[in-house]
Structure 1
Amino acid sequence: MTKHDPLRFIDLMALHKLNVLHLHLTDDQGWRLEIRRYPRLTEVGAWRAESQIGWNGAMDGRPHGGYYTQDDIREIVAYAARRHITVVPEIDVPGHTQAAIAAHPELGNLGVPLEVRTTCGIGENVLNVEESTIAFLQNVLDEVIELFPSPYVCVGGDECRKDQWKASQAAQRRIRELGLNDEEELQSWFVRRLGDHLATRGRRLVGWDEILEGGLAPGAVVASWRGDLGAVAAARRGHDIVNCANTSVYLDYRQGPGEDEPVPFGTVLALEDVYAFEPVPAELRGRPDAARVLGAQCGVWTELIDSNRQVDYMAFPRLAAFAETVWSPADRDLPDFRARLSAHLGRLDAIGVEYRRASGPLPWQTRPGVPGRPEDPAAWQATIDSWTSNLRDLR
């Protein structure tokens, strides 16, 4: 997305009274934010040799890249602020960091050069746990907080594979030195170091619900994405939460079961499924812990969404349903919403939003032959169970 694309999306958010934009600025496949102290993060890390077409599909052979300059970010943040929207940055660590390691191999565990990742999925390359790496990230975060006045800064913590730490003599030595039990607690120590650094600068750390698994310092906010279990576990342990349940509000998931859905991914989340979302999980309602729910967030992850027109298709009109769930009481009226939505779709037409029709995709919104990764209900439930086994223990 060029600078103009998030500016346009900010206008669409304001139209729907959504007031926080969470920008995921780094990943294995690209580093998207200028850091003055470390120019190689964008000179090298912002560019990959090619991209995958669909899920495990062919490679396109086209170099891809780009990043936001610090002036771009200042413009985006100011533009959002004028529309009463806070922009929350994410620098995802210690996993999802292959682009950073490609730029700075000393951050990795292998001591060998890497390329910016070109394929989808969860990579095995993660940051090492040396003091020099912690210092590097603290310097990065210092520049991040100069650009983003948000009280919250997300450091990710999600989907971090521990294979390299298990094989690393340096990581194992660090575990022994710190008196930790395992690699999960090592990640917790890593995240706490960054949280302490942010706290000294008046900011609160946000991380995805995996940061619960090795223990978490007070004050951290948990973005609970793997169903409701992370939200319940975090709230009961005294942490504020943002409910991002992938079972309800991940807008990269397919919108219907039909074969014409473009690059279908995950389970089916239809408009009415998003409308049924409750920001406060059932296990917390009526309890003091319910006050820990700061808000809710839907996600538009773009591994399989390769154009802004496709972002429109995946986000709308489900984003309108999400907006109503977070601004309305639980006794909502779906037929009434549908009646009002029919008028609202005319507004989206007028401003050029290429939303999904109730009848399905228009011919140019399909992507015949591009493979996705749809999951049937049984496989989907198995995925949820595997994701949340650790979180059940935390409750």
Structure 2
Amino acid sequence: MLALPSVSLVLLIFIFNRAASKISLGPIYLFDILVLANFFVVVSYLYKFRGKYIQFVLMMGFSISWLIYELFSGEFSENNIRRFAMSVYMVIPIIVFVYGERLYRIIFDNAMIIAVMVSVSAVVISGEDIRPTLSALVLSFLFVAEYYREKIDVIKLSVILVLFLGVGLGIFTGESSYRTPIVGLFGAMFVSSAFLSFKSTDAAVRKKSSFVLYGGGLFFVVCILVFKDHPVVNQFISGAAGLLGIEYDVGGDVATRERGDSSGTAETRTMFWTGIINHAFSDESVLLLGNGHYLSFFERIFPYSDFVDLELLEPHNSFLGFFYRYGLIGIVLLVVHLYQVTDFRKKLQSRDYGFYIASLVLAVNYAFFEVALESPHGALCFWIVIIGAKFYRQNLRDE
């Protein structure tokens, strides 16, 4: 069996930040090779459960049909293969299920070691084209995994939280805050606590969740009011304003920070997303079938823009990226796949639902605002976070 490539892929994800998947083709192929090598391991598994994963088979047929069409129409380049790989990465959760028990035992039993490793990598590897957003996502996943243990190790939980804040707020890297993972962890704790405070049958769990929900919400509001002029808080306020199309003065030196101000970033992304949606609804065939792999969304929708590397830009929303490539057919198959892969939720113990909901919020938030499903390491992390609840309780060694 190809257990070694699979474990290697998992270990690599923890020491490699969000690499330049949207910038260059280089080392990304190392991950592709490992993913594709494991693909052959699950062929028999796919055949055995072909009815369960029919959506993946259909997606492969649909995306390959696009490649064949582009090959014979002369609209073909190396980038077509890179973009086609986005559909291939849908096999990752099936691979994760094959190695699930061993995989998550490594993760849950070594949470502290992994947390330190990804934090160090965030500092060492972070650079102009490589950002530690993915490291922050991994840290937030480890935090919620520790938080939802029956017996919480306060010291371990606190260390992971400090490491997460150090990476997520840019303290370790000397840059402005990474908004996506910060919003993701806050949203994950808020949504999961809200669910448990109203739905849990355990009085102790409801009490704890209510404290986190209301206490955390109050603390958040107080911080916004008291520190509204602080650059970090200003980044989040301006980012929300940018998503809503509201002009907001970022103040201070926030706009001159290396990564720019949140308002401008958010406005640019909403321009991307609006352009993709308007383009799709302007043509029924594009709405249904998508645009294929030949041109990036920027080359097709904004051909006269002065952005650099137009052919490699992604919309920073993997769901809309999938919609742009494969239309309604593709996005429906992706959603069905997500629903099918998380079918285990029906068998979860009630005490594990908090972890499942928090993990789901973390992953969806990441895919909604970043380049996630377009790259093998991003897709791997997305699916590992979502599937974690299936193997959670059985892999906590001390419970």
TM-score grouping bracket, smaller chain normalisation: 0.3 to 0.5
Larger helix proportion, structure 1 or 2?
Answer: 2
Larger strand proportion, structure 1 or 2?
Answer: 1
- TM-score, length-scaled by structure 2: 0.32
- TM-score, length-scaled by structure 1: 0.33
Pick 1 or 2: higher relative contact order, CA cutoff 8 A, min separation 6.
Answer: 2
